[in-house]
Structures are given as C-alpha cells and as structure tokens.
Structure 1
Amino acid sequence: MQETPNLNYIKELSGDDKTFEQKFIQILKDEFPVEQRTYIDHIERDEPRMAGELVHKLKHKFNILSMSEAYEYAIQYEEELRAGGTKGDAGFRSILETIKNYLNTI
C-alpha cells in the first residue's frame, strides 16, 4: 500500500481561512512525531495494547490526511494489537514514515 497524504480535507474544512489551515497543519506537525515515537516505544517494550491506543489516535490523522487505505489498515491493526499481536507493525511503520516525510515537506 503506497498512499500519498494530502491536505484536501484540511483545505475543505478551512474554506478560505488560511490562518485556520496553518494552525491545523501546525498541530499535526507538533503532535505526530510525539505520537509516532510513543507508538514505537510501546512496540519496542512489547506493550501491544498500549501501542493500540496510539494507533487509535493516529488513525484519525490518516483520515485528516485523506489516507483512507491507511485508515482501514489501522482499524485492523488496532484490533490485532488489542489481542496482543504485532504482525502489522512493519506496514504501520511504513505508513507513519510516509506521513512523517510528507509533514516535513509542508
């Protein structure tokens, strides 16, 4: 899965309010790295249920960035984590890396 994030939803939500749009983007830029690092920390400490809580939070950012396939992946992976599994970690980290790289360009 190689989906490209975009700002379509944010632009639609903000209308012509560029200040709102920039504030929204800044919130994403501020929150995402912290949540990504916390997710990875939980995986590395073998805490899948705690990681699942971060996946739950992060999946909503996928929707905000118009990444519907990533959102669906996160729903399934969240359930896997809640059951104690982590097989979907590599795919999820790939999504996170794509978003991180995108946020660094906007």
Structure 2
Amino acid sequence: MEQPNLDYINELVGNDQAFKAKLIATIKEELPQEIAAYQESFNSANYAAAAGHVHKLKHKISILGLEKSYYLAADFEEELKNNQTGLATDFEQIITSMKNFAAGL
C-alpha cells in the first residue's frame, strides 16, 4: 500500500515555508472533520452523502501523494452512488493512513 507523503506539497510550495505550513495546518484541521463526516454518513447507510464526502476526501488523497488511492477513491465514490460498498475496507485503510500521517505532521 502506498504511503502518504509531502512530495506534491513540497513541489507546489517551492521555498515558501509559510505557505507550506499553512497547507499542512489546513490538512491537519480539515482531514479529521472530513473523515468523521464520511464515517457518519457511511455508518448511517446514507451512501449518497458518503459519496459526497469521498469526493471531498479525494482532494486530500491527491495532495498527500496517493495516486493509486485516488483512483480507488473515485471507484468507491461511484460504488456509493449505486448503493454498493465493496471497496469500503480498502477506503478505510486509505483514510486511516492519511489520518495517522497528518497527526504526525
């Protein structure tokens, strides 16, 4: 499984450490909230809302350099729109790794 990283952020910010710090602070603040919102919708079997949360989380997945995981999330988003949950376990692994990574930043 691929691991979250700061490669994209480092490429994006160049030498602007203030901008990097702001991006990281935003991720650390928003990611747990977005994950909690997804989990609440998913656990309530509100798959349409869960799909919306997955869509938002895809942006964080991309920013944290998880290219393959981005495509899995896109597939999972489509599954949820069709009331299917086959990729839920794989998606949970992705968001857990992201949450752990963000907590260590």
Please say whether Structure 1 and Structure 2 have the same fold, judged by a TM-score greater than 0.5: yes
The structural deviation recorded for 1:55 is: 0.5
Whether 1:102 aligns to 2:95 is: no
| CA deviation map 1:22-81 (0-9, x unaligned) | 000000000000000010000111101100000001011111111001001001000000
* Matched residue, 1:8: 7
> What is the TM-score of this pair, normalised by structure 1?
0.96
Alpha-carbon distance, 1:104 to partner: 1.1
Unaligned runs of 5+ residues in structure 1 are none
Report the counterpart of residue 73 of structure 1 in structure 2. Answer: 72
Structure 2 counterparts to residues 19-98 of structure 1, below 5 A: 19-98=18-97
Unaligned stretches of 5+ in structure 2? Answer: none
The alignment covers a number of residue pairs equal to 105
1:87 positional shift: 1.7
Return the letter of the residue paired with 2:90: G
- 4+ aligned runs moved over 6 Å, structure 1: none
Q: Distance in 2 between matches of 1:55 and 1:79?
A: 10
State the TM-score, normalizing by the size of structure 2: 0.97
RMSD: 0.6
- Amino acid corresponding to residue 77 of structure 1 in structure 2: F
